[in-house]
Amino acid sequence: MNNLETLTPAKLKKLSVDELNVLASQIREFLINNITKTGGHLGPNLGVIELTIALHYVFNSPKDQFIFDIGHQAYTHKIITSRAKGFHKLRSKDGISGFTSYNESIHDVWESGHAGTALSALMGVLYSNKIDKNTNRAVAIVGDGALSSGMSLEALNLISYHNLPGIIIINNNKMSISKSVGKMADILNGDYKVKSSFFKTLGYEFTEIEDGHNLNDLINVFNVAKEVIKPQVILVNTIKGKGIKEAEQDQIGKYHMISSDKKTSSSWSEVISNLILEIQEEIPTMVIVPAMEVGGHLTNFKNKYPNRFLDVGISEEHAATMSAAVAKNKKNVILSLYSTFSQRAFDQILNDITRPNLGVFMTIDRSGLIPGDGDTHQGIYDVSMFLMMPNITVTMPSNIQDAADLLRYGLQLNKPFVMRFPKGNVETDFSYIKRNIKLSWDKITSGNKLNIITYGPIVNDIKNIIIDANLSVNLYNAKFIKPIDLKKLNEIFANGNPILVIEEIVNKSGLYQEILEYKEQNNFKSKVLTHSLQDINIPHLNESEIKEFASFDTNSLKEIIKHALR
């Protein structure tokens, strides 16, 4: 039995193939035992254990560079490079990241967290090697889902054009988060002659490994590839979730990412998807989503309205521009994005949606602080991005009633509209009153010493702090971040009390800056304070740790409010 905590690439190379198979079984058991306790990307990692072992057996990391697309499937790579002891705190403080990380190991030569970057990174490594006359190899490991993204195809087009000797391993498990979509998936899973011809026409040597869990086959093919100084594609057929029967049969992505949290209430994603479903009789919409059907809880919508639902795969830019064209053709359309991935479609949202003032309703999921995933997945930049765009309304509900109101308002507005919401759970029952609203802020509590302006579910946290501590504070729910409710803001400035703007976003641009600018333009005298996030990377921390780190836990917020009252 191997001691996983002391495993290194050098030790792995000394093992026989039979011993490598034992090691694979040991790692599979280790990952299942640990990830089911800590949470993490279970399915993707169970599918690449043998593939990763074979890579380390044949090549020489880190001289030969392994570039994992996204980096979420690198758990076996981490174990082989002496990081098994950190898995008991995976994705938490003092544990290891759920993605490849420059800070963890010299073997992690690329980190991203976002899909479709590996081939562009591979080309960068290959060009650097060419300049330096460096003969070490570079290998990109990319999933079949990410291969269809725009960046992947752009790099695929150029690596062979420049005759760069990169090795592209396509981990073909027929899944993205859920089932892969598009013609690329059909090619990869179709006739051998078709896929071989496709890649050879693009200028690549092509090999397919039928059983991506057969170490003998993997090692033999990789040994040949190591000696071929040409652009190469190796298609490796694997089973996502290998080792757990239910995960192997999973076609919707249930085992892609599992959580250690015990669910006690509905998530915000579930609430929003239910609201979208319920409003269809009144306002029919099309829903476009880039590979986030399951994460966005939109499967029920797809099943009920299959002709009005489209998963475009990992293609945020395409999704945004397509949504714009749907709106231009007088159809109601909802574009469902995660905050961290909305950044990828910045130009398309700006140029194709907001500039021509087209009625695309954008739901921005996973907004604010995101536990577990670290700095690549934080939802803290989108407000700054959206505020600079013309013709757009930017909102965030504090509860289900707000969400129902804003959904109806935004769809009726027929202009660019953003409704952002967090990753966590909603602590109330799914109930609301159907009503129409106007653009306005809500006054939640009354006092005569301080004005607090904030938005999102944190409104409820601050309300509880004010009531529990008997503080004399006017609390305003600024559910409309843009445009500002100027009538209410003028009333706030008129009372002369200090204003504290609390935002769970990066502090470079947000509602605070908008209010500060309005103050200067109108010569108001009230002091304007802010509490937001510092301009630093947010590490991988669990929910309580990340709130404490960012000073958004209850105790920190209480002290910040009391300080503003002095």
DSSP letters, 64-107, are SEEEESSSTT-HHHHHHTT-GGGGGGTTSTTS--SS--TTT-TT
Element (H, E) at 494: helix 486-494
Average pLDDT estimate for 58-78: 96
In order of start, what are the domains of the chain with their CATH numbers?
4-246 (3.40.50.970), 268-422 (3.40.50.970), 442-565 (3.40.50.920)
> Which pLDDT band, with edges at 50, 70 and 90, does 356 fall under?
very high
Q: Which residue has the higher pLDDT, 53 or 173?
A: 53
Q: What is the mean pLDDT of the chain?
A: 94
In this predicted structure, the answer to whether residue 542 has a pLDDT above a threshold of 80 is: yes
Using a pLDDT cut of 70, give the percent of the chain over it. Answer: 98
Give every CB contact of residue 345 below 8 A, 6+ residues apart in sequence. 316, 317, 319, 320, 337
φ, ψ (nearest 5 deg) of residue 136: -65, 155
- Report yes or no: 337 and 272 within 8 Å, Cβ to Cβ: no
* Mean pLDDT along residues 161-169: 98
Q: Is the pLDDT of residue 180 over 90?
A: no
Residue 538 pLDDT class (50, 70, 90 cuts): very high
- 229-258 per-residue burial string, b: 16 or more CB within 10 A, e: under 16: eebbbbbbbbbbbbbbeebbebeebbbbbb
pLDDT at site 257: 75
pLDDT at 1 over 70: no
SS3 425: strand
pLDDT tens digit string along 103-115? 999 999 999 999 9
What's the pLDDT score for residue 111? Answer: 94
Asked if pLDDT for residue 263 goes beyond 90, the answer is no
pLDDT score for 254? 72
pLDDT > 90: percent of the chain: 85
| Statement: residue 251 has pLDDT above 80 | no
What's the mean pLDDT in 362-373? 96
For range 290-297, the mean pLDDT: 92
Say how far apart CA 22 and CA 535 lie, in whole Å.
46
Checking if the pLDDT of 369 tops 70, the result is yes
Alpha-carbon distance values, 266 to 92, 423, 424 (Å): 23, 11, 9
For residue 126, is pLDDT > 80?
A: yes
Mean pLDDT of 184-200: 93
Query: How far is it, in rounded angstroms, from Cα 137 to Cα 473?
Result: 63
- Higher-scoring residue by pLDDT: 252, 130: 130
Lowest mean pLDDT among 315-329, 396-410, 418-432: 418-432
- Asked if 514 and 387 touch (Cβ cutoff 8 Å), the reply is yes
Q: What is the pLDDT of residue 484?
A: 98
Model pLDDT for residues 411-437, shown as the tens digit of each residue? 999 999 999 999 988 876 668 999 999
For range 302-317, the mean pLDDT = 96
Q: How far apart are CA 319 and CA 306, in angstroms?
A: 17
Inter-residue contact 244 to 186 (CB < 8 Å): no
Mean pLDDT confidence for 491-510: 95
**Rounded CA gap, 552 and 397, in Å?**
18
**Model confidence at 261: pLDDT above 70:** no
The pLDDT, as a whole number, for residue 243 is 86
